Copies of this chain bind each other. A is one copy, B any other.
Amino acid sequence: MTETNPIACLLVIGNEVLSGRTQDANIKFLATRLGEIGIPLREVRVIPDVKDTIVATVNEVRRRFDHVFTTGGIGPTHDDITSECIAAAFGVPWEPHPEAWGRLERHYKPGEFNAARQRMGTMPRGAALIDNAISIAPGFSMENVHVMAGVPRIMQAMFEALAPTLQGGPPIASRTVHANGVMEGRIAEGLADIQQRWPDLDIGSYPYYRMGGGGVALVAKGSDPDAVDAASAAITMLLRAIGSQPVQGEPPV
């Protein structure tokens, strides 16, 4: 990856992933989409619904990364504390946001916009809303911190509403070659040579195990598509030299 790409960190906030109750589905989606728009994901942290932990983590990573995305903890219940923690992290009041409040007030029937739901219209001062096409209650950005829902369908809608406002670097190009029946240990030295020839690329080796035998998937990745093509061709030659018949793309599942 070149240094021209801004980089991102994701905070998955919620006890349910740490307890094993929920299989996270947000990391893969955001990792893929952020790569596509040229803001590669460089770190993920899964942290609990604990105020001190959220505040300290947000303040650490918002200085180290160009963009920070958070998922989870912006609903109406007592364990939804992300929004007030972001206010604390930025040192600003947590107060009704007129536009978010108005959207929610219009959405609920008279009498149903209760104290718990009003929490979803309460935000750090200065928050810029992220639209929620699914269930109304918006996410928001504070500077480079983008606060989204944890429910995957809602998070994805929020991300797509936000994405056009993000300024990415060149998209990350990627080519995969897979070789059935090849063990990593047979090609490791040749692969290390290829990594040295293209130091700006990220050459990855991922063994897989399937019914009927496994193999290895070899990925060349970077922001220069010509270099990615050339490295991928070199990987193909390396595999042919040991008698394998490599195939472009991912192995069949």
Contacts and interface: CB of A to CB of B under 8 A. Distances in A.
Interface of A: 12, 15-24, 27-35, 40-48, 53, 75-80, 112, 114-117, 119, 151, 153, 172, 174, 184-189, 191-192, 195, 202-207, 209, 219, 221
Number of copies: 2
A69 to B, nearest CB: 13
B191 A78 contact: yes
B43 A18 contact: yes
Contacts of A195: 78-79
B40 A19 contact: yes
8 contacts: A16-B204, A16-B219, A21-B174, A22-B28, A77-B205, A115-B189, A116-B192, A151-B207
Contacts of A75: 184, 205, 207
Most chain B beta carbons < 10 A, residue from A20, A34, A119: A20
A43 B47 contact: yes
Contacts of A43: 18, 45-48, 53
